Structure 1
């Protein structure tokens, strides 16, 4: 286990993702939200649970993270929510977030199919290879599993 990074302290809100009446990401409202919270937080989390990530396409998720990175412009850390139903998709999105400039990734265990302890371990082991700090998101009501190794 790596020492907690110096930047990981304070308030990191999981940003909501606003939608238009046509059920599209409301980019203008999202930018306004980020500008509103930025002076009061230590970091931000796009595509967390309150960001409704399961309802976004992969392209929409990437766009939400891109907008956040653009608005933040290096002023605070951005912890991109990259959880997906499969390890393969999670690794791909986490790699993309790293390359886009995210500070870290918030990752839950693969959800829907209730992975075993070994499958969860292998999931995080694969994600560790991406080379970006990971924040493990223990949300058993969605993932169907509970972290029990600490």
Structure 2
């Protein structure tokens, strides 16, 4: 259902408000440069510091600008099941094509709690669901047996997984348990190439914010089985993957975008501090090495 290079879109701010004009221009640029889908209100989009009205507005703008040219996978998760349901309903009204539901954070639910949470939401959602497992941020880990069981219960609703666990063996376990039609997406740019060999079909990407054409070309080559080209492009992109986390994300992403465009400010919201000078140097070098400076 989803594949290729899918940016987790950064949200531009101006005077600490969502810069709607810059966001529209950014979405157009992403589509023009080959991104195969778009994710508003993900981690890189600073969903944690958007208020609810902003959250829903960002999804609405993305769906409006995309206008069905590429799918919009709206970040709609929460550590509160009822708040997640509210985000789901608003994303559906806004015209999103699918939902990205992160594991509940801070609460640390059990696997039974995760089954109950995602089942409750799947029963009430009208759009396909992409589970999002990022235990390094949420502490909660959606284990493979839970992913498989959720897909078994809702085969036409829970259709995909963004996996940022860092454990590539899970790709095989989940493919064997959920079947080859279950869509597995990487959540770690540096692991995407290896993920293709094991059964992943794309990446919800940080780096694609800054280098959408290079990322799209890399994923196209990997999807086609042209691993020689994919390896070459991966090595071209690898320093940029690392530089995007040279400081707390998404400050490096926003700094890089501010270098590319005078209309995209580097501003983040606290507690994400402005990018450090050391991280700026790393981003500068990586952008120059990738030929996008």
Same fold (TM over 0.5): yes
Contact 2:104–2:140 (CA<8 Å) still a contact in 1? no
Residues 1-150 of structure 1 mapped to structure 2, 5 A cutoff: 5=1, 8-20=2-14, 22-39=15-32, 40-129=34-123, 130-148=125-143, 149=145, 150=174
C-alpha distance after superposition, 1:65-101 (max 9, x if no partner): 0110111111110000011120110011112212221
Secondary structure of 1:107 counterpart: strand
Higher CA-based Rg:
2
Alpha-carbon distance between aligned partners in 1 of 2:116 and 2:103, rounded to the nearest angstrom: 10
Alpha-carbon distance between aligned partners in 2 of 1:25 and 1:96, rounded to the nearest angstrom: 18
Count residues in correspondence. Answer: 143
| Offset of residue 19 of structure 1 | 0.6
Q: TM-score, normalised by structure 2?
A: 0.48
Q: Which runs of 5+ in 1 are unaligned?
A: none
Secondary structure of 2:130 counterpart: strand
Alpha-carbon distance between aligned partners in 2 of 1:144 and 1:118, rounded to the nearest angstrom: 16
| Offset of residue 29 of structure 1 | 1.0
Secondary structure of 1:12 counterpart: strand
C-alpha distance after superposition, 1:118-139 (max 9, x if no partner): 1111111011111210000001
Q: Which runs of 5+ in 2 are unaligned?
A: 146-173, 175-293
| Segments of 4+ moved more than 6 angstroms | none
